[in-house]
Amino acid sequence: MKSDRAAKLAHATMPPVTRLARAKVNLALHVVGRRLDGYHLLDSLVAFADFGDVVTVQDAPALHLSITGPMAHGLSSGPDNLVMKAALALGRPLGAAITLDKHLPVASGIGGGSADAAAALQALCALWGCDLPDAAKVLALGADVPVCLAGQSCRMAGIGDEIFPVALPSAHLVLVNPGMGLGTASVFGALIRRDNAPLPPPEPLPDVAALASYLRRCRNDLQAPALSLVPQIGTVLAALSAQTGCLLARMSGSGATCFGLFASALAAKTAASALRAQSAEWWVQAGAMAS
């Protein structure tokens, strides 16, 4: 009890802590098997964009979540929200006012909820002065939470619990969502084959051209089933591919967000402007691929 009181006093003057919940992009995603318990085995090359949602926490008598931002509509701030689940999973007898500034579309294949949970864990541990939980503990929150907590480009395998850092070259991304969510379970349910080949052997990636060349040898095994559920994904992919400087266009995760890979910030920004003009219903964001 004494240590808890001391901790509360220490945190009483703590300034707010903010963390960026960066968009997660599956540059490639191979479904390589399925366990007896139903969990799918993946082999994925993951990168992060330099933009996303923003999580801010500050000391408060109890845990409380507020959601703001352009993508806040319809989101619950109750205990079923992944951010609240992450906070409660830390098991600390301390409170915090958590604000989630939501900019990434929901259920869109770029790890929004998982990234939010990871950012909340990082911010709360900084606020409360405790260690981050290990990957095995946060895996219970969702398969993408461990990789979002690591927050760096990596090869992700298993059910999301095997993470191997990978150095990727400087590159730029344009993310486009056709304005609709897509449930992960529905996409996996439409998957025909679950024992596909893993990623090709790693090779040197000195620049974005080499990265694009390697990615062309890879796949997103969830793209075809997602297309069968949301044909508009095909329209987005075609529009991305048609942009000047687009080296590769592919769907991320279980969709429906797609990405275009570009060599320069100018090419990515120009493409994003053109895509916004093409459809007002699309969510479009350009940025650097974070190192």
**H runs (alpha helix) in 207-247:** 208-215, 223-229, 232-241
Q: Return d(Cα 104, Cα 85) in angstroms, integer.
A: 19
Catalytic residue from among 43, 101, 116, 144: 144
269 is catalytic: no
In order, the DSSP letters of 153-197 are: -EEEEETTTEEEE------EEEEEE-S----HHHHHHT-S-----
Give 249's contacts (C-beta < 8 A, 6+ positions apart): 237, 240, 241, 258, 259, 260, 261
User: What three-state secondary structure class fits 72?
Assistant: coil
Helices (H) and strands (E) in the chain, counts: 10, 10
How many other CB atoms sit within 10 Å of the CB of residue 86? Answer: 27
Catalytic residue among 24, 43, 116, 221: 24
Coil vs helix vs strand at 106: coil
- CA atoms of 172 and 154, how far apart (whole Å): 17
- As a whole number of angstroms, the distance between CA 177 and CA 233 comes to 8
Using only C-alpha atoms, the chain has a radius of gyration, in whole angstroms, of 19
144 flagged as catalytic = yes
Side-chain half-sphere exposure of 203, counting CA atoms within 13 A: 14
Q: Which residues are catalytic?
A: 24, 144
